[in-house]
């Protein structure tokens, strides 16, 4: 039993008006909403700070909440919405990004079930094996390491774990064969009580340095459970090139 919230901001440096970009006759936010509706979520709500997105969502029948414009992070926006919806403290909420028009519903189901099966965790999220040396050294690809029970030890934009001997001479031509590297997938399930706590905590130094808001949770002693994704998620839409690729896959021009 869980709810889905889809944060969707109009402003985007690389792709202005991203949620309303057309994909085969539908705005992107509708594509995301339709994917989420295929899950078993009790409700699917769009959260936005822009009236144009509100109007579009109402046009195709989505529940939508107009939020404040000054939230410092998507998690803060999520907390405003769960308060508006008056969700109980023990409820589970899955945060589905508004630029994932091809997100498999199975991943939404998985991350929600994982949180419910991990009572010590405030958050559940997903990862996948990282097998490409360029991705490991790419700061736009977030890496994660966990303990033996699957709880996150750290997230970073830097290569990790750092293989001291193999990387001593600089970046190698290929990944060490005996090390399991993992890429973080930015799909989260939260307990509502955690969201209320999160917005009361000052921004943490690690969160600022890495520009990764999940590090605030680790800084304040919260546990994040990480599971390997049951299916490989397609890439989201960040640029016009990404948009063209998704349009091609979904039959648009």
Which among 200, 228, 198 has a CA at the least distance from the CA of 213?
198
Q: What percent of the chain has pLDDT over 70?
A: 99
Q: Please report where in the chains the tokens 């600089």 appear, as a residue.
A: 170
Question: Length of the chain in residues, anyone?
Answer: 253
6 neighbors 97 (Cβ within 8 angstroms): yes
Digit-coded pLDDT (tens) for 167-215: 888 888 889 888 999 999 999 999 999 999 999 999 999 999 999 999 9
Strands 182-191 and 92-95: antiparallel
Q: How far is CA 191 from the centre of its chain?
A: 15
d(CA 99, CA 16): 12
Phi, psi of 216 (to 5 degrees): -65, -40
Q: Which of 151, 153, 79, 142 is nearest to 117 (CA)?
A: 151
Contact at 8 Å (CB) between 122 and 179?
Answer: no
Q: Which domain holds residue 46?
A: 1-103
Count of domains for the chain: 2
Assess whether 76 and 45 both reside in one domain. yes
Task: Indicate whether 246 belongs to any domain.
Answer: no
How much is the pLDDT for 113? 97
Do 137 and 99 lie in one domain? The reply is no
200 and 176, same structural domain? Answer: yes
Helical segments of 166-213, H only: 192-198, 205-210
The pLDDT, as a whole number, for residue 200 is 94
Does the residue 14 lie in any domain? yes
Last residue in a domain, options 47, 76, 103: 103
Determine what percent of the chain is predicted with pLDDT higher than 90. 75
Residue 253 pLDDT:
47
Q: According to the model, what pLDDT value does residue 219 have? A: 97
Residue 242 forms part of a structural domain: no
Residues 53 and 81 both lie in one domain: yes
CATH of residue 199's domain is: 3.90.550.10
| 243 belongs to a structural domain | no
Residue 238 inside a domain? The answer is no
- Are 82 and 181 in contact by the 8 Å Cβ rule? The answer is no
81 and 33 in one domain?
A: yes
How far apart, in whole angstroms, are the C-alpha atoms of residue 197 and residue 217? 10
Q: Are the C-beta atoms of 123 and 225 separated by less than 8 Å?
A: yes
* 12-25 confidence digits (pLDDT tens): 777 888 999 999 99
Query: The pTM is what?
Result: 0.92
Same domain, 18 and 75: yes
Same domain for 95 and 55, yes or no, is: yes
Q: What distance in Å separates the CA atoms of residue 234 and residue 125, rounded to the nearest whole number?
A: 16
Other CB atoms within 10 A of residue 15 CB: 17
Separation of alpha carbons 142 and 53, rounded Å: 29
111 part of a folded domain: no
Phi, psi of 208 (to 5 degrees): -70, -45
d(CA 82, CA 76): 10
Check whether residue 55 and residue 156 sit in a common domain: no
Rounded to the nearest integer, the mean pLDDT of the chain is: 93
The mean pLDDT value for 139-154 works out to: 96
User: Residue 17: inside a domain, yes or no?
Assistant: yes
| Separation in Å, CA 136 to CA 50, 112, 127, 234 | 36, 27, 14, 18
What residue has token string 């700070």? 49
**Tens of pLDDT, residues 215-242:** 999 999 999 999 999 999 888 888 888 8
Per-residue pLDDT, 9: 86
- Is the pLDDT assigned to residue 252 strictly greater than 60? no
Average pLDDT over residues 92-96: 97
Q: What is the mean pLDDT of residues 28-45?
A: 96
Residues 84 and 181 both lie in one domain: no
Q: What is the mean pLDDT of residues 1-30?
A: 90
Answer yes or no: do 12 and 49 share one domain: yes
């Amino acid at each position: 039993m869980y709810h889905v919230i889809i944060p969707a901001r109009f402003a985007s440096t690389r792709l202005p008006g991203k949620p309303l970009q057309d994909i085969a006759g539908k705005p992107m936010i509708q594509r995301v909403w339709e994917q989420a509706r295929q899950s078993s979520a009790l409700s699917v709500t769009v959260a936005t700070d822009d009236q144009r997105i509100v109007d579009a969502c109402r046009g195709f029948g989505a529940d939508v909440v107009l939020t404040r414009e000054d939230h410092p992070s998507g998690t803060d926006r999520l907390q405003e919405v769960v308060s508006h919806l008056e969700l109980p403290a023990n409820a589970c909420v899955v945060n589905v990004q508004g630029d994932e028009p091809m997100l498999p519903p199975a991943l939404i189901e998985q991350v929600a079930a994982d949180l419910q099966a991990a009572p010590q965790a405030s958050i559940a999220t997903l990862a996948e094996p990282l097998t490409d040396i360029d991705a490991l050294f790419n700061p736009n690809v977030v890496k994660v390491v966990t303990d033996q029970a699957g709880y996150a030890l750290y997230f970073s934009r830097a290569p990790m774990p750092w293989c001291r001997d193999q990387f001593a001479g600089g970046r190698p031509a290929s990944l060490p064969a005996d090390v399991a590297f993992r890429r973080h997938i930015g799909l989260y399930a939260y307990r509502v009580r955690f969201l209320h706590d999160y917005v009361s905590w000052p921004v943490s130094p690690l969160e600022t340095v890495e520009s990764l808001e999940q590090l605030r949770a680790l800084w304040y002693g919260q546990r994040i459970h990480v599971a390997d994704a049951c299916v490989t998620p397609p890439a989201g839409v960040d640029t016009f090139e990404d948009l063209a690729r998704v349009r091609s896959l979904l039959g648009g021009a």
